[in-house]
Amino acid sequence: MTTPGAGPKGWEAIRAEVLRRIDRREWAPGAVIPPEAELAEEFGVARATVNRALRELALQGVVERRRKAGTRVATHPVRRAVVEIPVTRLEVEGRGQCYAFHLTGCALVVPPPPVLARLGLAPGSRMWHVTTLHLADGRPFLYEDRWLNPAPLPAGFDPSEPALSINEWLVKNVAYTYGDIAFSAEPASEGEALQLDVPKGAPVFVIERTTWAGEVPVTLVRLAYGPGYRLRTVL
Amino acid sequence: MTTPGAGPKGWEAIRAEVLRRIDRREWAPGAVIPPEAELAEEFGVARATVNRALRELALQGVVERRRKAGTRVATHPVRRAVVEIPVTRLEVEGRGQCYAFHLTGCALVVPPPPVLARLGLAPGSRMWHVTTLHLADGRPFLYEDRWLNPAPLPAGFDPSEPALSINEWLVKNVAYTYGDIAFSAEPASEGEALQLDVPKGAPVFVIERTTWAGEVPVTLVRLAYGPGYRLRTVL
DNA sequence: TTCGATAATATGTCTGTACATATTAATCGC
DNA sequence: GCGATTAATATGTACAGACATATTATCGAA
């Protein structure tokens, strides 16, 4: 339903038009599309505007761009989707449910070797091990199993008496820059099954996240969501 | 390891510096940071450069921007992560495994009402129902359950004899613009269990995707991944 | 006091020009 | 012909100025 006269203006219009041509196979997958300068002239806009539009499309994986080689329509649609990793409290409250959480464990111990290896810490290092059960309307919603590196934490930190959830506390108090996230479906472990009130081995949606403050590992956390949880994308 | 003199240049340097100040709590969560013009002057760059940096941070959910209100550090770190939804064949081949697929079902039938409702089609509409098992090194990797709207497809289309997987065929031959994706962990249905060679009820990682060509629904597909599958993100 | 019009402001975007950079294409010497 | 150097080219980024737009703050009238 491409209304010629109306529609968006500026770089979004350029993006839409390029997308339309790709969809109509005027520009076939794998083919090189005209250079920015040419498109700019055709559309009567500055090259920067075309650049913005094409850059956006490249971000979504619709086209691939390389210097000198030009811009070509992606043959393999590695579509990129943006997912929002929400703060649990807000997610629960956003559903109109009542949020609460409950500390189920907290100790300063030596984690199993895989955890240390994953974070690049020396064998034998001690870390906080904090487990939290998050509740929505009093029912188990998410079981959180977190390892915390004491190093970047303020001195005298004691995670056993938080006013906020550990995650929110961290966000407010500890620097962290980047990390990586993995999603998977896994059978509920014994502990998770108990806490989430599901049979052992039942499917739980798992988000595993590591975060770093510069070079220093901050935390490794495993979030196990109860049944029915869905992670959606925008765009 | 913030090397003062070296490091990136241009807008990436601005982004890094802003991120650093946020990390060090020089700009606290919730606080408004100086306007673009001011930062541009401080860093000795054009406002457009600062804009680019801040726009990028807003995209990642680190800051929130609103006209006139200014830019403020996100209090609730709704971190956005970009996930790549790969083409199965490439994903398998990327692991150095041998890819194959096997059509397990194909029929033009009236889908269950939820499917039609989800796609906004009239009750009683007929759709292609195509199920495919994707194999990695001969072992079940992914079970695909797809509903295809015949309307946007070329006349005389017959999905029962594809040279490529349906997904790749679609990408090359049917226009599609946008869609939405949801991730979840679900117990394997009887059929999925059989095809993926896992016990019934075992956890499968499910990606459910709907795609649209403009106003016309194209396909609704449920991808059930076998055990051990992980979806990773960068950033 | 409160509601509504108005001004002020920060971001959003566009333009045109300029230079940087990566990569391909062409050219030259052998 | 073939390999190495050089030129050409398309994108990446920067800049300064300008106008658009959303939203807040202010001020005046009822």
**Average pLDDT value over all residues in chain B:** 86
DSSP B233: B
Q: In this prediction, does ipTM exceed 0.90?
A: no
* A8 Cβ within 7 A of any nucleic strand D atom: no
- What class, spelled out in words, does domain A84-234 have in CATH? alpha beta
Q: Which residues of B touch A180 (CB under 8 A)?
A: 232-235
Nucleotides on strand C with an atom closer than 7 A to protein CB? 8-18, 21-24
In DSSP terms, A222 is beta-bridged to A145, A208
The alpha carbons of chain A give a radius of gyration, in whole angstroms, of: 24
Residues A167 and A148: their CA atoms lie apart, in Å, by 11
Helix (H) or strand (E) holding A216: strand A216-225
Closest chain A CA to residue B170: A77
In tens, the pLDDT along B41-83 reads: 999 999 999 999 999 999 888 899 999 999 999 887 667 788 8
Angle at A163 between CA A215 and CA A228, to 5 degrees: 80
Distance in angstroms: CA B34, C1' D27? 27
In the 8-state DSSP scheme, what is residue B2? -
Q: Which pLDDT belongs to residue B215? A: 73
Interval B99-115 mean pLDDT = 92
Which residue in the set B25, B176, B231 is minimally distant from A183, CB to CB? B231
Return d(Cα A113, Cα A127) in angstroms, integer.
12
Q: Give span(s): CATH 1.10.10.10, chain A.
A: 11-73
A65 forms beta bridges with A71
Say yes or no to pLDDT of B176 above 90.
no
C1'-nearest nucleotide to the CA of A66 = D11
CA angle B13, A56, B168 (to 5 degrees): 130
Q: What pLDDT does A175 receive?
A: 60
Q: Residue B5: pLDDT above 50?
A: no
Taking 80 as the threshold, does the pLDDT of residue B7 lie above it? no
Does A1 contact B at CB distance below 8 Å? yes
Residues of chain B with CATH 3.40.1410.10: 88-225
pLDDT in tens, chain A (235 residues): 434 444 567 899 999 899 889 877 899 888 999 999 999 999 999 999 999 999 999 988 889 999 999 999 988 766 778 888 877 887 888 888 999 988 898 999 999 999 999 898 999 999 999 999 999 999 999 999 999 898 877 766 777 766 666 666 666 666 666 778 899 999 999 999 999 999 999 999 999 988 887 678 888 999 999 988 999 886 6
CA distances to B13, B15, B23, B138 from B49, rounded to whole Å, are: 10, 10, 21, 51
| Secondary-structure class of domain B88-225 per CATH | alpha beta
Tell me the backbone φ, ψ of residue A91, rounded to 5 degrees. Answer: -65, -45
List, by residue range, all CATH 3.40.1410.10 domains of chain A.
84-234
Most B CBs within 10 Å: which of A83, A180, A216, as the mutation test of the B interface? A83
Name the closest residue on chain B to residue A229, using Cα atoms: B184
CATH code that applies to domain A11-73: 1.10.10.10
Is residue B132 within a helix (H) or strand (E), and if so which, with residue range?
strand B127-136
Distance of CA B234 to the CA centre of its chain: 13
Name residue, tokens 């109860």. Answer: A226
For residue A82, list chain B residues with Cβ-Cβ distance below 8 A.
Answer: 80-83
